[in-house]
Amino acid sequence: MSTGRARHPANEAGRLARSTSILRPSTTCARFTSILPTADCRAAEARKSEGSGEIMLSTIQPSRAVPRIPLRFPCKTITTQSHRKFSFKPLSSSSSSSQSQSQIDQSPPPQSQILNIRNGLLSRQFTATQLAESYLNRLRLTEPLLHSFLHVSSSVLRQAQEVDLKIQRNEHLGPLAGVLIGVKDNICTSDMLSTAGSGILRNYQPPFDATAVKRIRDLGGIVVGKTNMDEFGMGSTTEASAFQVTANPWDITRVPGGSSGGSAAAVSARQCVVSLGSDTGGSVRQPASFCGVVGLKPTYGRVSRFGLMAYASSLDVIGCFGSSVADVGSLLHTISGHDRLDSTSSRRELPDFTSQFIAANNMNSQPLKGLKVGLISETIGDGVDTQVISAIQGAALHLEELGCTVTQV
């Protein structure tokens, strides 16, 4: 499935030149592959095709076969229904000759990594330190090829150890305790540089945290680093950064989208659990699509913009990336709410975005019953990749199982 346009040859040549020094995997990396989202360390080492000079990253693609932390609450598996409430417009032979109803993607939605991490920590299956070490090892393996991060925090392991101490003392854990989170580099952090991808700010370290970052830290989240972006958000490929070009984890010869390409690529490659981006005209939604993750631009005013370097103040919004809707909902719930430091932040009551993800019997009910969903005809029409069509149809079937009425428009 196509994940974006190919790179400009000049940019590609420079990026490949920077990628020749590949870090060797740590011997500790494979210790927790049964419970953590890490690939086989030996297979994840970069390879070059003989004679072509092409760097291959297929071994670290974020496939569904990547081991995940064991699920500890019921999850409903989608089954094919013979009595769907909607019907698809017949597709042209060019796009549907190999597409049949049996080929619709019926795999269950991705599990919530945030909830699984919390359950694993509380049940002592693993420690926050072990979790952090695994993600950092994966980051060391993949970063020389992806260039998702501009800065990586030196205090990740120390913060993880603090989480472990709280668990040992039976102290209260925040909902994001031990969760590694990437932050786009135009969102201020007091302990790391915040350059917005620009050489002008290459040495700028804010004296404060953005409100969204502060709320993450207050609830136990660990900011693993600052992600690459198009300079000041002015781009859609993450090739316009003053420092490096980010690759798409599914195909490193292609772009990850932008301007929040580093945040999208980091989640897609499992370098972090979730991440923050910013969206003015698509800078979260577009790279999420390119990298195969969930991206959300919240309603304007839902999330404080304090600490976000402005592009267009009346349009800018801090958004979220995750591998599942549940993870994005959990992160959104954390960073949402009125902020006296942002006069444009909403005073409206904050909905509980997380209750439906936590309820043990939720997946056996219909939490979206009565909701009407429009399925845009062009998304499954002529010229659309059959894999894209399959994924969209599978999502529509899943929404129906949750109680929605899906109508083609």
CA–CA separation, 84 vs 375, rounded Å?
Answer: 14
Annotated active-site residue in 259, 268, 323, 330: 259
CA–CA separation, 29 vs 383, rounded Å?
Answer: 42
Q: What is the largest CA-CA distance in the chain?
A: 63
CA–CA separation, 111 vs 325, rounded Å?
Answer: 9
- 184: annotated active-site residue: yes
Amino acid at 112: S
User: What residues contact residue 325 under an 8 Å CB cut-off, 6+ apart?
Assistant: 109, 294
Q: Give the chain's length.
A: 409
Q: How many CA atoms lie within 13 A of 90 on its CB side?
A: 3
CA–CA separation, 41 vs 238, rounded Å?
Answer: 27
Q: How many CA atoms lie within 13 A of 259 on its CB side?
A: 25
CA neighbor of 131 nearest in space, from 142, 146, 120, 123: 120
- 259: annotated active-site residue: yes
- 283: annotated active-site residue: yes
* Cβ–Cβ < 8 Å for 224, 133: no
Annotated active-site residue in 166, 184, 226, 297: 184
* Burial degree of 26 (CB within 10 A; 0-12, 13-18, 19+): middle
Whether the bond into 102 is cis, omega within 30 of 0: no
Please calculate the CA angle 143-144-145 and round it to the nearest 5 degrees: 85
Annotated active-site residue in 283, 304, 324, 390: 283
What positions carry a catalytic annotation?
A: 184, 259, 283
